[in-house]
Amino acid sequence: MSLASWFRWNEPPNRISQRSPTEMVVETLMMELSWQIKQAEKQQRERENEYRRMKSGVDYGWLVSYPKHSYDISPGERLQLEDMCTKIHPSYCGPVILRFRQVVAEYEPEAQEVSRLFRSVLQEAAEKIKEEEEAKKLARQWNTKNRTSLSLTTFKSRSRISPFISDIKTISEDVERGTQPNRRVWSMPEFRNTK
């Protein structure tokens, strides 16, 4: 028996899962939420231990064993949060995580409050995405509107107006008819209307 069969070196590598980007965003954001809940529990235990140590003067923390993960969000709330996560575009996943971490660091919430903070960050991101989509829509409308107006201006600019040949009667022509035209200086050509 060869060692290659034991270690499966000759097997083809596993393919990357065929999950959609939306599923990956939901999974990533929910993993971040669960990690932040665990961190909030850990900080809460540390605060409780510090309070006990200050109160009694003796540290018995090494005797206490804590459960690995005691707080969990309800299934209904989890589904709501996952539904909110589906509305987040993949390009916003990183900024949402950074904003969530910033809010958690700023407020130092209890484990029960983390999911509410997460919900508020998701709502904020969804509103921002909606505003940007509306701005893009308005920009597209503006660009198409400008294209049509530009085509009209280019059409108008193509028609040439000759100031010397005109059928439009003006007041100055009526006044000039009664007077003799002045002779121009030799360097300037003389223009006369020939009718």
The domain locations on the chain are: 21-145
pLDDT, position 148: 59
What DSSP designation does 186 have?
T
pLDDT < 50 stretches in the chain: 159
Do residues 81 and 122 lie in contact, with contact meaning Cβ atoms separated by under 8 Å? yes
What DSSP designation does 61 have?
T
Instruction: Give the ranges where the chain is alpha helix by DSSP (H).
Output: 3-7, 21-56, 75-86, 93-107, 114-158, 171-177
Rounded distance between C-alpha atoms, residue 144 and residue 82, angstroms: 37
Nearest to 37 by CA among 73, 76, 67: 73
pLDDT, position 141: 87
pLDDT, position 53: 80
What DSSP designation does 86 have?
H
Tokens 């999950």 correspond to what residue?
A: 19
Rounded distance between C-alpha atoms, residue 30 and residue 88, angstroms: 12
Rounded distance between C-alpha atoms, residue 51 and residue 99, angstroms: 30
Do residues 100 and 110 lie in contact, with contact meaning Cβ atoms separated by under 8 Å? no
pLDDT, position 177: 64
Rounded distance between C-alpha atoms, residue 136 and residue 33, angstroms: 31
Nearest to 97 by CA among 22, 28, 5, 42: 28
Number of C-alpha atoms within 13 angstroms, CB side, residue 68?
Answer: 2
